[in-house]
Amino acid sequence: MTRQRRNFFDERGVALIYMAVFLTTLLVSTGLAVDTGRAYVVKAQLSKAVDGAALGAARMLNSGNPRAEATRIFNANFPLGYFGTSEDADPTADPGFFELETIAATGMNVVTVTASAKLPTTFMRLANFTDLTVTSSGEATRRMVDLSLVLDVSSSIGWRWPFVRDASRAFINAFDAANDRISLVTYGNGARVIDAMPAAHGFNKVRVMADVPNALPGGSTNMVEGLYRGWDELRAVANGQQSGLRVIVLFTDGASNSVPGNYPAVPGVSKGLRTFDFPKNLPDPDNQTWASPMIVGMFDTDTGAQGPAYSVTLPWNSPATLAQVPFLPLTSWHTHHRSGGIPTSFPLQTAALTVNGAAQSARRGLRNWNAGAGRFPAEIFNINNAARNLVEIIADTARNDNGDYPIRIYTIGMGELVRYNLGTIPEKSEDILMRLANDSRSADFNEDQLEGKYYFAEGAADVSAAFEALQNQIVRLSK
């Protein structure tokens, strides 16, 4: 064989070797691209599954089984065998799949969901890579909640009370008995703390639910004292130990109508003087509005017990008063509280707040100042205005509370009474409730304070939906 022919065969052999190496490299590279592309798809879906599982578990920290919820959501988004992944190992069975950490210093619960999936390779087997392991973690946080539930138990609720009672209990049941705190306050002629805010995290869920009264206690609408006691319960948790979300939830079917104070007729003890709602509105099926309302007193601001019993019926715009109680006190007076440093009196009107864009003291001001007594007369006009002014003043002060975290207020108004035009302006109770909540829909929204929300329940059957909507809002905020 000649040298030329031998060189030809040598060169052809080298070319074949090069071609084999090239094709192998090409196949491995193609396999790498295909398999990493598959891994990318698996990684994206795995990330979606663990993120959804973490968020779902965080929502279920309020009640139920958070790990079971995480497992359910993960399996719904990443079933075994997804996109060819191995079915030999269930990611949700791994002890590290679900972790919950409670950080007391920051008032946070942190849920972490971690999962891995094994993806058998195809072309990469040529390079002796038989599988790829893809791992992803999702994290969700939920702030612990300190919540004062303040319930109107006045007589006007009537036959609707079982709906309110059951909705309130379901609302309480939605919170985490191990980490949240809840206090229960009811108000009628006075305001009672049925369940005090615990000092440590957690609350007795069964007891608090059971303590929502089975039967309607009745009475009037001393909303001023009810809101004050709810705020006081939040403040009773020591600074440095308060939860990351501090909330007052106030439910009512009417408007504030009582002024708690130190009256000369019964000096030295806080009593409430109230009026009925006016003027007459129709259809008013429960007969809760009057053209000639009553002035009624005196009610202990804690027990609601009346003593001494005074009353008089007058046209709502009359300047006449009770003979025994001719004047209002200069300020409100609150003798039932347990938090240190809480104010115990508030002015009966202020120019610092607005009502429909005008100063409260101008739009809903008191009248007929008596220079000799140095006080406003306790006429229906003034009692009604002071009761409405005070509840807005206290709400504003609570939202400015200087605890570890600011306070949000949420309100629920039930029934047609909250949409009647009542009082001296007249005005709707739901407009007041929007101001109490600092709802952005209010003309008097204060952007420098935390925004709350007002919920309307048209009838008794709508109360549950209002509480559920409020619960969902608090859960979103707690993330």
Task: State residue 220's pLDDT score.
Answer: 96
Query: What tokens were used for 284?
Result: 């008013």
Instruction: Give the tens place of pLDDT for each residue, 364-385.
Output: 999 999 999 999 999 999 999 9
CATH number of 145-478: 3.40.50.410
Confidence check: pLDDT of 8 > 90: no
Percent above pLDDT 90 for the chain: 73
Task: State residue 86's pLDDT score.
Answer: 84
Task: State residue 249's pLDDT score.
Answer: 98
What's the whole-model pTM score?
0.79
SS (H, E, C) the chain: CCHHHHHHHHHHHHHHHHHHHHHHHHHHHHHHHHHHHHHHHHHHHHHHHHHHHHHHHHHCCCCCCHHHHHHHHHHHHCCCCHHHCCCCCCHHHCCCCEEEEEECCCCEEEEEEEEEEEEECCHHHHHCCCEEEEEEEEEEEEECEEEEEEEECCHHHHHHHHHHHHHHHHHHHCCCCCCCEEEEEEECCCEEEEECCCCCCCCCHHHHHHHCCCCCCCCCCCHHHHHHHHHHHHHCCCCCCCCCEEEEEEEECCCCCEEEECCCCCCCCCEEEEECECCCCCCCCCCCECCCCEEEEEEECCCCCEEEEEEEECCCCCCCCCCCCCECCCECCCCCCCCCCCCCCCECCCCCCEECCEEHHHHCCCCCCECCCCECECCHHHHHHHHHHHHHHHHHHHHCCCCCCCEEEEEEEECHHHHCEECCCCEEHHHHHHHHHCCCCCCCCCCCCCCCEEEEECCHHHHHHHHHHHHHHHHHHHC
Mean pLDDT (the chain) is: 91
Task: State residue 209's pLDDT score.
Answer: 98
Confidence check: pLDDT of 133 > 50: yes
Instruction: Give the tens place of pLDDT for each residue, 162-204.
Output: 999 999 999 999 998 988 999 999 999 999 999 999 999 999 9
Task: State residue 26's pLDDT score.
Answer: 47
For the ranges 82-91, 99-108, 109-118, 378-387, the maximum mean pLDDT occurs at 378-387
Higher pLDDT, 144 or 250: 250
Confidence check: pLDDT of 15 > 60: no
Task: State residue 11's pLDDT score.
Answer: 58
434 Cβ contact list (under 8 Å, min separation 6): 411, 441, 442, 454
Instruction: Give the tens place of pLDDT for each residue, 263-321.
Output: 998 888 899 999 999 999 999 999 999 999 999 999 999 999 999 999 999 999 999 99
Domain assignments of the chain as residue spans, ordered by start? 3-143, 145-478
